[in-house]
Amino acid sequence: MNIAYRAAYSLFFFALAGTATASGCSSESANGAPSDEAISETDSGAEKQLDCSKNDDCPSKVCDLHTKTCKAPACDDGVKNADETDLDCGGATCAKCDVQKTCADSTDCASGVCAEGSGGKRCQAPTCSDGIKDGDETDVDCGGGTCGKCSETKGCTVRDDCSTDVCKSGVCVVPVCNDGETNGSETDVDCGGPDCPRCASTKACTTADDCASGVCTDNVCKAPTCTDSMKNGNETDTDCGGPDCPRCAPGLSCATGSDCTSSACNYKKKCVVGKSCTQHYGGDTCGLGGEGGQGAAEWQDCCVRQPVTPSSGPTSGSQIMLDKYQVTAGRMREFLESINYDVRAFVKQARAQGKIPLIPDQTGDNKNKRLLEADWDMYLPVSFDGSTANEEISDTDQDGASEKGIYSAIFNHLGGRIFKNNQQPKTGCYVGAGTHTFRFPDNRQDGSEPDQDQTVYDTKSMQCVDYLVAQAFCIWDGGRLQLGAEWLAAWGNGTNASPWLPQGETRKPRRIGDDTYFGCRFPATSDANYPDYCTSTIDVASGHTIEFANYQYSYEWPTLGDNYDYIVFISAPGRLRGRGPNGHADIIGNNYGMTSDVVIGSKNSNNSTVETTTYDTTPFTVTHGWNAGGSWEVHNYSKAALSRRTMLLNKYGKLGFRCAYP
């Protein structure tokens, strides 16, 4: 038990037990019981354990609900305790913290950089101007593959690290190569060899390292080209990037988005699949491992796409690239921040550029209609807080409250505001026995203050967003919302009774139920290692598993906090092991998925479509479908293309999405 925990433990004990009298008798607790009944000694007698009934009873904020005793702080308990500076990281004992986690000083950070940020001191990504030797730098803010070259006397590994072009014994040195002769180890006049700068094109060489281009052919240095299998010239990676060569594929180095085929260069200066995945949290935090996952960090680019070939629907027989993972809140944040939250202006520009696709099913009233019609533009947000300008619509919400510009604020499209005609009278899009994964700024909430910081929210599957904003996101990212038939193709050939499973697996996803305090959920426990007291809810012998689908409260990370922020029950995409035949994650559960199965001139009635003959210009009678994947809450799944339809401004705390790229 470390010092910080002992101190907190002692304070907490005395607060419960009262002050002992001089005779050694203890005072009574609030319920009249002797206060020494609140503790019990461990087998060794060296430490005492507090009794508890909930996490808040413990200095560590971790109560073992089976033994009803407080647990000592640990670096994997999903709680910020002991001397940790953020959740399970920082301090003297736990691992160093990742970027954007809270820190006290640089020793708390994996990057070695702790600086003032949003809400206080946070770990920052290495930069070439932070005054610290970090990342792949060979000296402070220079050298390595990212920063500028180091000057004389600075540390180096190879000559590329040095502005002098000479690295000797790990230090950049000034070459003495100015006598106008080819001598010593030089391969040409005052160049080449280990002690002089590399030679320009047409100069003599013996190895590639003698040449500035890195290309020595027939003992002559050759000019850089985009096909010489060397990273040279203005390239950012081998034969790609820069102003002269083709763009680089995902995973290769870049300086800006223009170096990448995807136009997306991320925070690590690597090309990524989609421009919504250039940040860390929600950008490359999908997959099995890492926080809230299994084992060591095995994070993957959240924009990875896998092929599907639908056997039905408007794209039947065509290969479609479909997001492997459900869209994260971090990806949505990247979109909104890049357009300054003005979705309306983006959609108008995209329409003018011909980038808004037609509705895939081009029949009846859908003929020649687009996935975002101009008639719906005034229902799109223009900023975070919106506008009350004369052109904005005055309208009422579900409760009948009238507001000018009700649709112009992204705050209303992503949070607890319930637009009129919403199918669910309670959306669950508020903090407190609900949540929305797009975290609003501190002191700007539409419910209780969130229990977690933004880094946790950004990793989670995005929900509580309406069709209009979700579709705008997919178009910005180069695609459109998936179709129900494309989701079915990602599921594969499994039947309703035997859904998609890993190769050779026969167990089925297991529901847990909504007892939010029992604590028998993945990843806190697993099929292979769960306490006896969980057997009533996790009956592995019955042929079920809690590890394949986030389905009906089978997942919880971090631990549910005091404000009942249900963000913990929504997983980061890909944390559970179930996968479709092409690798698509979370086909079942986590969140339902909205689709581009749009019907113009129809309205919803008991989840069925009632056709009308008149096209209505508002989004309240146009509907879009949901896939039948079920959710993390109480909803079952079925193998059907669509489970229901809702109007385009409908929001729900269990409805997310993924994009398709025809």
User: Mean pLDDT, to the nearest integer, of 47-71?
Assistant: 82
Residue 278 lies in a domain: no
pLDDT of residue 320: 98
Q: Which helix (H) or strand (E) holds 13?
A: helix 3-17
pLDDT above 90 (res 461):
yes
pLDDT category at 500 given cuts 50, 70, 90 is low
pLDDT for 281-305, tens place per residue?
999 999 998 889 877 778 899 999 9
Distance CA 397, CA 392 (A): 15
Residue 272 lies in a domain: no
What is the 3-state secondary structure of 388-446?
CCCCCCEEEECCCCEEECCCCEHHHHHCCCCECCCCCCCCCCCCCCECCCCCCCCCCCC
Domain membership of residue 559 as a residue range:
306-662
Residue 180 lies in a domain: no
For the ranges 22-36, 289-303, 445-459, 550-564, the lowest mean pLDDT is seen at 22-36
For the ranges 203-207, 307-311, 357-361, 607-611, the lowest mean pLDDT is seen at 607-611
For the ranges 72-76, 157-161, 431-435, 645-649, the lowest mean pLDDT is seen at 431-435
What is the 3-state secondary structure of 159-209?
HHHECCCCEECCEECCCCCCCCCCCCCCCECCECCCCCCCECCCCECCCHH
Residue 285: DSSP 8-state: -
pLDDT category at 499 given cuts 50, 70, 90 is low
Domain end call among 19, 53, 70:
70
Residue 295 lies in a domain: no
pLDDT above 50 (res 41):
no
Distance CA 512, CA 632 (A): 10
pLDDT above 90 (res 42):
no
pLDDT above 50 (res 607):
no
The answer for residues whose C-beta is within 8 angstroms of residue 329's C-beta and 6 or more apart is: 282, 437, 438, 439, 457, 458, 459, 460, 461, 462
Distance CA 395, CA 401 (A): 8
pLDDT of residue 126: 86
pLDDT of residue 648: 95
Distance CA 558, CA 453 (A): 11
Residue 280 lies in a domain: no
pLDDT of residue 536: 62
- Residue 589, Ramachandran bin (φ over 0: left; ψ between -120 and 50: alpha; else beta): left
pLDDT of residue 112: 87
For the ranges 211-220, 293-302, 352-361, 582-591, the lowest mean pLDDT is seen at 293-302
pLDDT above 50 (res 553):
yes
pLDDT of residue 250: 94
pLDDT above 50 (res 40):
no
Enter the pTM of the model.
0.80
519, 556 Cβ separation under 8 angstroms: yes
- The total of other beta-carbon atoms located within 10 Å of residue 446's CB is 15
pLDDT of residue 478: 96
Look over the chain and give the mean of its residue pLDDT values, rounded to a whole number. Answer: 85
Residue 414 lies in a domain: yes
Domain end call among 34, 52, 70:
70
pLDDT category at 378 given cuts 50, 70, 90 is very high
Residue 496 lies in a domain: yes
pLDDT of residue 427: 92
pLDDT category at 211 given cuts 50, 70, 90 is very high
pLDDT of residue 36: 36
pLDDT of residue 559: 86
User: Mean pLDDT, to the nearest integer, of 552-556?
Assistant: 91
Rg (CA), the chain: 29
Distance CA 4, CA 542 (A): 44
- The total of other beta-carbon atoms located within 10 Å of residue 176's CB is 11
Q: What distances in angstroms separate CA 340 from CA 224, 334, 337, 409, one per listed residue? A: 41, 10, 5, 12
pLDDT category at 564 given cuts 50, 70, 90 is confident
User: Mean pLDDT, to the nearest integer, of 549-565?
Assistant: 88
Distance CA 343, CA 349 (A): 10
pLDDT of residue 54: 82
pLDDT above 90 (res 243):
yes
For the ranges 284-298, 469-483, 599-613, the lowest mean pLDDT is seen at 599-613
pLDDT category at 509 given cuts 50, 70, 90 is confident
Between residues 208 and 100, the one the model is more confident about: 208
pLDDT category at 38 given cuts 50, 70, 90 is very low
pLDDT above 80 (res 87):
yes
What share of the chain in percent tops pLDDT 90? 55
Distance CA 277, CA 284 (A): 7
Distance CA 394, CA 420 (A): 12
| Residue found under tokens 């699949």 | 273
pLDDT winner (highest mean) among 165-179, 315-329, 512-526: 315-329
The answer for residues whose C-beta is within 8 angstroms of residue 80's C-beta and 6 or more apart is: 61, 86, 87, 88
pLDDT of residue 540: 55
Domain end call among 18, 53, 70:
70
Number of domains in the chain: 2
Residue 210 lies in a domain: no
pLDDT of residue 602: 59
Spell out the long-range contacts of 52-59 with Cβ–Cβ below 8 A and sequence spacing 24 or more: 54/517, 55/79, 55/559, 56/562, 58/12, 59/5, 59/8, 59/9, 59/11, 59/12
Residue 634: DSSP 8-state: S
